[in-house]
Structure 1
């Protein structure tokens, strides 16, 4: 079947009600929902509404994710803070951490908040864009369960560890760079598995350093430790895989050492064969542009840089050069009047959620 688009407002109402029935307070449910829907609005489908059940609802049921978020500020200075999330909803913890960083930046020019004992916080770009909306520069990163092998290694040690930057410009969209420090990430492999597609060679390696391309098999092998993602740059040093490996390590350190949180193999989600909270770490940085220069001048210079890049000489056969944030804007322009794209498998999953959470009034929307 062709993709079906469901209006954003319908999905928003449905997801808030599902999360509330799962035990999440309504205001927190709205934050979680907004983060997931924003991912779909900008084309980050691997981190969109498709993750509602497997990453959040199922983990709440398993008792490894607290639906009620009681985060705690354990240390604070004028421009800094450390937060313990106590295994609550990662989106809620991250939203409040970036909000705190923004408030500090507005007062003193910069703010940084480090978080420990959190959970999956969804689309990292959401938090960078929170700063952008306030005419600030936003930076965030998070560690994750082990899936990347170090260069010349085959054991999954580091998380996909995105390093994300958002900056305002004078264009219709900001500069937004939100990408994992691996060639791909687990969410995209999940997307390939749902679509029955084969993975490109070089994304995943087995215990012998050979490429694996069966998406469903890879998802099982990543958990079992029989496969690992390759860092940005790919296998070995010839295509500079050590650079992605290095940047992933930077994110791991900043997501664990400042806040004295868990890292690498501590983040598997298992202990003695039993499921346990993931205890992820994040960091959030907000920078007040006006502490350096006029905001409009910054935006114009940033915009000029992006426009000159797009106007540069193109490779033969290519009609367009993109800058970070542009494709996301194009997706939003296409989807803003259509909604969230659903394939047949996702429709079935949401239809079952209607049954499981007694929300039959929404079921008609999820018919294929």
Structure 2
């Protein structure tokens, strides 16, 4: 098999292209910039599962299908001094997410803490983006979102819970914040999509079939996750022996906080299909919490202590054969250092998507190295 040709495209060019794609399907200019910024931030941090690779299949195609609104109606339906409930009316999840976290941050600046919950939203990109927003304001940021069913509960085989990330962002005195951004399943659909684009099988233990057996056939798994005949395993894996119940429990926490506080949809109400199998809105829910560090301690002291914790962890004794220990957010920072002068890696599948988008939207002024 011939080696796949990967091209690198400048971040600024790719961000502008994505902005124009969003505008081309009716997203207002300022909103399009927000969406493109969140996607390119994912690529900059080396999280290829949530960057430009999702531009066409997740956002462009859903807008074209009519199951996601390009114009976002951010409606505050209930508000208190430190809280708010927002209805996103199936608009752009990135726009909804950024506005909601900004609202939580503003409340925290006044009252020490702020929490905003959202219903009727759509996929909002990397959850870490919103944690970083808070960290940049010397705050602790916490966010989570539910998603279409894909995780089976422990001892079950039916996909019931979404990958439901529970994400934290905290400032430090280092060059990068502490950002823990990960799904409550062993893997998320986006990473399986990356394996599929690369023509690879996934590792055993990530996905089970209706009989509880592990599967590795990536391309068919992506189809069966939608049909409900395959399911992701929670963090910890299959059953209780390796503590899969912990990931299952945390996924359930996120499901509750993403739906019960905002009278939103949950579990099978998030499939994206109606009872006749026709594509429909996803009705996702999110929550955003901002905690002002200054309400407890001088931010500089917090950041120094946090940095010391991370440095001591990295300096601890390493297992044989391992050169270093990492802390959350470090690998993403190193990815940025590696990529900042190279740009976004575009594999052959993405090259086709980009060429299709360019042709369909008549964006003829863009010239990419793979053309």
- Return the TM-score normalized by structure 2: 0.98
Question: Does structure 1 residue 265 correspond to structure 2 residue 268?
Answer: yes
Q: How many residues align?
A: 367
Question: Does structure 1 residue 293 correspond to structure 2 residue 336?
Answer: no
Which residue of the partner structure matches residue 344 of structure 2? Answer: 340
Which residue of the partner structure matches residue 167 of structure 1? Answer: 170
Which residue of the partner structure matches residue 212 of structure 1? Answer: 215
What's the secondary structure of 1:137's corresponding residue?
strand
1:323 pairs with one of 300, 311, 327? 327
CA distance in 1, matches of 2:130, 2:344: 21
Offset at residue 23 of structure 1 (A): 0.3
1:221-280 CA-to-partner distances (Å, cap 9, x unmatched) read: 101110000000000000000000000000000000000100000000001221110000
1:136-180 CA-to-partner distances (Å, cap 9, x unmatched) read: 111100000000000000000000000000000001111000000
What's the secondary structure of 2:214's corresponding residue?
coil
Question: Does structure 1 residue 37 correspond to structure 2 residue 40?
Answer: yes
Query: Over aligned residue pairs, what C-alpha RMSD do you find?
Result: 0.7
CA distance in 1, matches of 2:132, 2:282: 25
Question: Does structure 1 residue 191 correspond to structure 2 residue 194?
Answer: yes
1:356 pairs with one of 345, 360, 368? 360
1:86 pairs with one of 76, 80, 89? 89
Offset at residue 366 of structure 1 (A): 5.1
Give runs of aligned pairs for residues 306-321 of structure 1, distance below 5 A: 306-321=310-325
Give runs of aligned pairs for residues 1-368 of structure 1, distance below 5 A: 1-271=4-274, 272-362=276-366, 364-365=367-368, 367=370
CA distance in 1, matches of 2:347, 2:21: 20
CA distance in 2, matches of 1:158, 1:196: 27
What's the secondary structure of 2:181's corresponding residue?
strand
Offset at residue 13 of structure 1 (A): 1.2
What's the secondary structure of 2:215's corresponding residue?
coil
Moved more, 10-19 or 227-236: 10-19
Offset at residue 18 of structure 1 (A): 1.2
CA distance in 1, matches of 2:24, 2:221: 33
Offset at residue 360 of structure 1 (A): 1.3
CA contact (8 A) 1:347 1:366 kept: no
Offset at residue 3 of structure 1 (A): 2.1
Offset at residue 2 of structure 1 (A): 3.7
CA distance in 2, matches of 1:359, 1:122: 24
CA distance in 2, matches of 1:62, 1:135: 40
Offset at residue 71 of structure 1 (A): 1.4
